[in-house]
Structures are given as C-alpha cells and as structure tokens.
Structure 1
C-alpha cells in the first residue's frame, strides 16, 4: 500500500492569512487530488494535480512526483476557506 502524510493535520485560518499544507507519499503516484471538506460536511474537489502547478483564484497547488510530495497554498484566506483540507493519492 501507500503511506500518505499531511502537515499540518488541522488548519485554522484567520481571515487574510496565508498558509501552506504539505502532503508526502511513500511511492510514486500518478493521481494526486486535493479536497476541502467544509464545516457543513460538504466535500469540495479543489485540484487534480499529478504533476506541476495549478492555480485557482487564491489557491495554488504543486506536485513534484519524483520527490513524492504535493502542496496546497492558500493566500488571503476568507471565511469560505474554513474546513478540513486533505490530499488523496493513488496509483492508477
């Protein structure tokens, strides 16, 4: 199987603040996704990013597959950014 570690495990953002979440995985992956589960429990898909960098508004995600890591940067956070962020990693 694949081990996935994420830091920080929980994130509490103040409005206007910036933060970066990091995800590390034990084996080479070709399917990396970032999600946000909002306080109401709704799961929101943010990025499919097997490699490279993608941006969507104030969110920026980067995956370096050879280094088995991905990161999600949130800038100028708003109240709508509240919730639990996590990465999902798999091999096809």
Structure 2
C-alpha cells in the first residue's frame, strides 16, 4: 500500500468541537490531485499548494501573517489580552514561537 502525505489542504476547524470540514473551493482540485497520485503510485509527501491556486493564495497569506516582527506580535498580544480573548492569546504565543525558530 502506497502512502502519500498531502500538506497544506485548507480545512475549516471548529475550535469548540474539533469538527473538520474541507473548504468547498478546493474539493475538485483535491479530487484531481488524488486521481493523479493513484496513477503515479509512489510514496511521498506533497504540498497541495502545487495543485491548487486557491491553496497557494491562502498559504501565501499565512506566510505574510508570520512576517510580523516580534514587537508587532507583542503589541497585538497586549491588545488581545485587554480584550480577554485567551484563544487568540494562545495563537499569538504560537506565532511568536514560530518566529523564534
């Protein structure tokens, strides 16, 4: 059995119940990608962004987000802390950790 890991597949995720759902705009692209992988039949890891313009644009947007410098993240953290949004605080902490890697 061949295994291929597909990274960067856009999904909606509920932060409360952990339900996952594929983003509608990529369903057809994902079907085509899976069909190509069945034909290729090799084991590997791929980025779905190579097969979907929508995904490429989303991924590019995510990379722009992480290009904030540490001072900007800390300013944002202080704002979010004043709003009492603990989920957002944790997300900012994770983003800060990624900038340090």
- TM-score (structure 2 length as normaliser): 0.24
Task: Decide which structure has the larger Cα Rg and report it.
Answer: 2
Structure 1 or 2: more helix by fraction: 2
Structure 1 or 2: more strand by fraction: 1
* More contact order relative to length (CA 8 Å, sep ≥ 6): 1
